[in-house]
Amino acid sequence: MILSASVLSSSPCYLGEGPMWHPARKSCFWTDIENRTLFEYKWHDQTLHSRRLDYKIALIIRDKDDHLILGLNGGLAKLNVETGALRWLLDIEKECPDHRCNDGGVDSEGRLWVGTMHKDFREGAGSLYCLDKGLVLEKKLENVTISNGLVWSGDNSRMYYIDSPTRTVKSFFFDSGSGSIQFEKEAIRIPENLGMPDGMTIDEEGMLWVAHWGGFGVYRWNPLNGEWIGTIKLPVPHVTSCAFAGERLDRLVITTARQDLSEEELDKYPASGDVFVASPGVKGVEARRCRF
């Protein structure tokens, strides 16, 4: 199965990331990390709004009140989407000025999981953390290089996780009561010619949609047997993340980047950094709200 996508927003991002559907606002958020800009695309009137912050925004999560929790360089903060007020929540590796938060997600119990990385992709410099009630932060994995896609199976028995340079999607046994994880296996291995796995989402059939940096598309994988079962081809090489959107969660919003492309490559792939949308033929799973 090979599908195509169309441009949703042609305001090119240097490093587009973190798409998230907000059902209460009927809009889709995403970020341009390096330009410190948060975007909101209103689904019904197709208008795009932006807000620039003093931080690099890598992760966008809904909180219990339908405002936003943002993963930034230095930690997490809450953004009131009505007033624009930003309130610092807690520090994460703030003592390392070259580190920042990257991708993350919310588990079935409302815990917030967020990974970190070094700005120069220093090997093993990052970690994966879990934020539980009482704002207790626990390190779950260390020696991570580029902490990326993170989703849970429909029955919450497994967590799927990407550390991009490993070119794998790892499967962990997940205990929803305690939040503990135990490595199970490398569920998916990405061939080098398909680029490097970046952001990821899961559909209602339990299949994984993985954005491939350098791979010109989003690829659908079966985490149970490692089979590659579909592709959304894009006219740009650096595909960063994806999220199901729309009131029926039947559209896939896809972010891309201009980062690490030469002038010649940008001339060849001028849509790099645009945000795309596709109809994948399957519905997604609504992203959970953090309980904080």
Average pLDDT in the 130-138 region? 95
Q: What confidence tens digit (pLDDT) does each residue in 92-132 have?
A: 999 999 999 999 999 999 999 999 999 999 999 999 999 99
Residues 6+ apart with CB under 8 A from 263: none
CA pair distance 77, 206, nearest whole angstrom: 31
Distance separating alpha carbons of residues 100 and 149, to the nearest angstrom: 16
Tell me the H-state helices in the chain.
Answer: 263-268
* pLDDT, position 83: 95
- Residue 264's alpha-carbon distances to 212, 215, 260, 261, 269, in angstroms, are 21, 18, 11, 8, 9
Interatomic CA distance for residues 21 and 147, integer angstroms: 21
Over residues 64-80, the pLDDT tens digits come to 999 999 999 999 999 99
For 228-258, letters b (16+ CB in 10 Å) and e give: eebbbebbbbbbbbbbbbbeebbbbbbbbbb
Distance CA 159, CA 2 (A): 27
Q: Give the three-class secondary structure for 264.
A: helix
Dist. CA 135–CA 111, nearest whole Å:
10
The CA distance from 10 to 261, in Å, is 17
Cβ partners under 8 Å of residue 134, min gap 6 = none
Is the per-residue pLDDT at 168 higher than 90?
yes
User: pLDDT at position 174, please?
Assistant: 98
The predicted structure's pLDDT at residue 11: 84
**Residue 286 CA: distances (Å) to CA of 24, 116, 196, 289:** 12, 24, 25, 9
Residue 19 clears pLDDT 90, i.e. is over it: yes
How far apart, in whole angstroms, are the C-alpha atoms of residue 6 and residue 27?
18
What letter would DSSP give residue 266? H
The pLDDT of residue 114 is 98
* Residues 235 and 224 sit within 8 Å (Cβ to Cβ): no
Contact between residue 272 and residue 12 where contact means Cβ atoms under 8 Å apart: yes
Q: What is the pLDDT of residues 216-233, one digit of tens each?
A: 999 999 999 999 999 999
**Which residue reads 């990821």 in tokens?**
200
Over residues 13-39, mean pLDDT: 98
Assigned CATH for 2-278: 2.120.10.30
Query: Residues 209, 218: contact at Cβ < 8 Å?
Result: yes
Structure-token pair, residue 161: 């996780």
Distance of CA 21 to the CA centre of its chain: 12
Work out the average pLDDT over 38-46. Answer: 97
